[in-house]
Amino acid sequence: MSVSISVRLPEEIARALEDLAKSTERPKTFLIRKALESYLAEYADYQIALERLRNRDDAVISGTELRKRLGI
């Protein structure tokens, strides 16, 4: 099921979206949906990372230690 949402964009963003739609031959709705999906996934990952940083029982290791454990 799809839901219709209306949004106001600054002219600069609207022009960039129009240009991208033309250059990729994709509908603007497709590009907006993909951008929003990407943003929401990144935000969810960010929230997980914050929760793990706040959890004092979750060990934090350095990049050097990580490479050592991975053998690289």
Give 10-residue mean pLDDT values along the chain (72 residues). 96 99 98 98 97 88 94 94
The pLDDT value recorded for residue 27 is 98
In degrees to the nearest 10, what's the CA dihedral of 19, 37, 39, 57?
Answer: -160
The C-alpha angle 42, 39, 57, rounded to 5 degrees, equals 25
User: Is there a contact between 21 and 31 (Cβ–Cβ < 8 Å)?
Assistant: yes
- At 60 the pLDDT is 82
At residue 68, the pLDDT reads: 96
Res 59: pLDDT: 83
C-alpha to C-alpha distances, 72 to 41, 43, 50, 68, nearest whole angstrom = 28, 29, 27, 6
